[in-house]
Amino acid sequence: MKTLKPYNPFLIAGYYSPDYFCDRETETEKITSALNNDRNVSLMSARRYGKTGLIQHVFHKLTESDSKVVCIYMDIYPTQNLNDFVKIFSENVLGKVDANLEKAMNRFAAFFKSFRPVLSYDSLSGQPELSVKIEPAMEKNSLQEVFAYMEQTGKRCYIAIDEFQQIAEYPEKGTEALLRSYIQFSTNVKFIFAGSRQHLMNEIFLSAKRPFYQSTQLMSLDVVNREQYYQFALAHFQKAGFAISEVCFDTIYTLFEGHTWYVQALLNRLYEYRKNIDEPQFVYQALRQLLDENAYSYQELLNAYSSVQVNLLKAVAKEKIVQQINAGVFISKYGLKNVSSITRALNKLIEKELIYKSEKGYMVYDRLLGLWLSRI
């Protein structure tokens, strides 16, 4: 079935083709070259910088060069333990390594002893779907069998595991060592380990005491170059018979400091206007629209936190970047409580990923939430 082209070229979810993907040529080349030369890659950046899109773009390039390779993407953010991980890993691998699942079921039944894959059909599309149930205490055996199955297929496989830092928080001890023991001996499988929680990813890959130390090529993702991003945006507006001025694009880019998802979200709304975007007022109109649409969910979010936590979050939003949370000037300016209560509130907000510590300082993780908070 042929996929329809996007009506709006500024995608805010998923990947369609290189025509709708901006720049990242250097990063694409680095990752592709590393994988082709048998090096695993760890990719780090804050959320919504475009890691997933970049991975899908790399996969597109790899399959374009060799249609026989198998590219598998999985997001393990929802996983809470090793059993969850092995289930997601098994379902994704077995669902992609064999193109024809119906024919593969007999092979699965003969090969796998620790679990039995189950085939079902989507009620709407009728497409076959694979599911597995991993029995408690059988995770290690199940994982070993999946790696052995990939090996015996002889197919070149590329596997991207997004939000990989989750494994550091599993209750089971030795999860990293277990995975590393299988990954390091996989001759036909190469990995991209992507993560958004920088401190956890650093601990996994940069600590000499951890199993994944010096096992990957390290990469961090920065913002897309402003000029290249503008030319990308302008080209898509011009294809539709309109234009966006450089001043208007700069307003968007500066507002979100080039943070990819937020720039895309605003461009998506502006494209919807179907007119020349030549005045910054159009940008602020679209921004107000986004903030108003999210106001209810943001208010509900705040209701789940204490007044100390909410006041600290608002203060950080109004400052945009705070280098020293416990500085007397910052505390007195916003009427915050004592240092110990602020520290507890900060730790909670970081844990819940509402505040993020960047190289510049502390900031509200969700850029739109930060702008909304700065208005109230």
For residue 138, what is the domain's CATH number?
3.40.50.300
Whether residues 243 and 273 share a domain: the answer is yes
> Residue 35: which domain range?
24-220
Domain boundary among 220, 240, 275: 220
Whether residues 124 and 151 share a domain: the answer is yes
d(CA 220, CA 358): 13
Q: What is the pLDDT of residue 147?
A: 96
Give start and end residues of each alpha helix (H) in 123-245.
139-153, 175-183, 198-206, 226-239
Domain count, the chain: 2
The answer to the question of residue 19 being in a domain is: no
Q: Angle 260-272/367-375 helices, nearest 10 degrees?
A: 70
The answer to the question of residue 363 being in a domain is: yes
Whether residues 132 and 257 share a domain: the answer is no
Which of 184, 106, 95 lies closest to 146 in space, CA to CA? 95
Amino acid code (one letter) for 186: S
Q: What is the pLDDT of residue 3?
A: 67
Whether residues 155 and 44 share a domain: the answer is yes
Residue 308: exposure state from Cβ atoms within 10 A (0-12, 13-18, ≥19)? middle
Whether residues 54 and 187 share a domain: the answer is yes
The answer to the question of residue 78 being in a domain is: yes
Per-residue pLDDT of the chain (376 residues; tens, 9 = 90+): 446 789 999 999 999 999 999 989 999 999 999 999 999 999 999 889 999 999 999 999 999 999 999 999 999 999 999 999 999 999 999 989 987 888 888 889 889 999 989 999 888 888 888 899 999 999 999 999 999 999 999 999 999 999 999 999 999 999 999 999 999 999 999 999 999 998 899 999 999 999 999 999 999 999 999 999 999 999 999 999 999 999 999 999 999 999 999 999 999 999 999 999 999 999 999 999 999 999 999 999 999 999 999 999 999 999 999 999 999 999 999 999 889 999 999 999 999 999 998 888 999 999 999 999 998 7
The answer to the question of residue 3 being in a domain is: no
The answer to the question of residue 14 being in a domain is: no
Q: What is the pLDDT of residue 1?
A: 45
Q: What is the pLDDT of residue 163?
A: 97
The answer to the question of residue 124 being in a domain is: yes
d(CA 240, CA 235): 9
Whether residues 208 and 232 share a domain: the answer is no
Domain boundary among 188, 220, 252: 220
Whether residues 247 and 284 share a domain: the answer is yes
Instruction: Provide the CATH number for the domain around residue 333.
Output: 1.10.10
